[in-house]
Amino acid sequence: MSDALKPCAPEGAPTATADGSACKPHDRTRRVMVGAVPVGGGAPVAVQSMLNAPADDVAANLAQIEALAEAGCEIVRMAIPRRDCLDAFEAVCAASPLPVVADIHFDARIAIEAARRGAAKLRINPGNIGGLEATRAVIAAAAEAAIPIRIGVNAGSLDDAIAERQDLTLSEKLVASATEYVRFFEDECDFRDIVVSAKAHDVQTTIDTYRLLAAALPAVPLHIGVTEAGTAFQGIIKSACGLGVLLEEGIGDTMRISLTDDPVVEVRACWTLLGSLNLRRRSPELISCPTCGRCQVNLIGLAREVEERLAAVSKPVKVAVMGCVVNGPGEAADADIGVACGAGSGVVFSHGKIVRKVQESEIVSALMEELENL
């Protein structure tokens, strides 16, 4: 690997590579391990989601983890709302193929016990777990278990002293709160296996907050997300706007697209966003043209069917479904495989070259068959 491509050192290093180009923020953060998954220090942006099965149902949570792992999830978070859920949490951790993060609010004792029972990371909000002093025992438990802690600050649960300040914007309040906690963890407790998140439901507030965090805490890995983003349609759009800007600027070491939907949809949305920015690719990219009066097939139905079939494919390829000869194969010449439709028929092509001609009823099956042969 050339010097220009090597990640910058996380702390105390210059902010430029050997060829003079600037390092991006995620190259300068510390490396934190969540189970076997590296976060920060130039590691690929890790994809996360959160379980929504009942916290005391081991089988349901493990089934959901299996589905998430198949979709490409790399880190999974599990809420522990009550102490009587700890046995289930321990069983899930023991059997899970993914590292499991314990999500705890209000009760520091649950966080301490979760660290002892197999959590790969703790996620706490000091603002609602009792303040800085209440976290000392939590930090000690994480240190003993050799696991990191995510300091999760949310707009709706800031410390009163910061929330009431009129001289700060909401973004500045979130950053002030996160910075206070980080300084306490590092300076008072000598604990540096930290990840920070500071979430809001507003897109611009999210962008502003993480830009400020990247500048204020350059060594600390950041978990990015737009919280309470909504159902799939709105939530994916809001998350793509906010997280897309941050990721393009090199801000963010791990991410979640939070949706009121099946967590598997969150994971697929994460990968689609990462792929759109050419940061990471795991699944196919579907290229399909808008319909118009030239189209002589049911293109919308074809594209939807292809999209459904591609959900089970993990090849990072480009697949095109084009409605007429105007938009394909020429317009989609860079596609690994595709189809251009005519009157009741279509031609399957690869990198702009026609492979075969098929009837409309055979288009999807022929496309998938050729995809398997790639």
pLDDT digits (tens, 9 = 90+) for 92-130: 999 999 999 999 988 999 999 999 999 999 999 877 877
Helix ranges restricted to H, the chain: 25-28, 58-71, 86-95, 108-116, 126-129, 136-145, 160-163, 170-183, 203-216, 232-248, 263-276, 299-310, 363-372
Low-confidence ranges of the chain (pLDDT < 50): 1-14
All residues at 6 or more sequence positions from 160 whose CB lies less than 8 Å from its CB, including other chains: none
102 with 128: CB under 8 angstroms?
no
Query: Which tokens belong to 337?
Result: 């495989």
In whole angstroms, what is the distance from residue 107 CA to residue 122 CA?
13
Q: How many CA atoms lie within 13 A of 213 on its CB side?
A: 37
331 with 322: CB under 8 angstroms?
yes
The 10 Å Cβ neighbour count of residue 169 is 13
Domain ranges of the chain: 3-276, 285-372
- Quote the pLDDT of residue 269: 95
**254-255/37-39 β-pairing:** unpaired
- Quote the pLDDT of residue 19: 52
Single pTM value for the model = 0.87
- Quote the pLDDT of residue 328: 63
The 10 Å Cβ neighbour count of residue 109 is 14
Dihedral (Cα; 67, 68, 69, 70), 10-degree rounding? 50
- Quote the pLDDT of residue 15: 56
- Quote the pLDDT of residue 4: 30
Is 3-276 assigned to CATH 3.40.50.2300?
no
Correct CATH for 285-372 of 1.10.1370.30, 3.40.50.720, 3.30.413.10, 3.90.1530.10: 3.30.413.10
Q: What are phi and psi of 114, to 5 degrees?
A: -60, -35
295: amino acid identity, one letter: C
**Shortest CA distance to 86 belongs to which of 70, 67, 109?**
109
| Residue 207 Cα to chain centre, angstroms | 16
In whole angstroms, what is the distance from residue 333 CA to residue 329 CA?
6
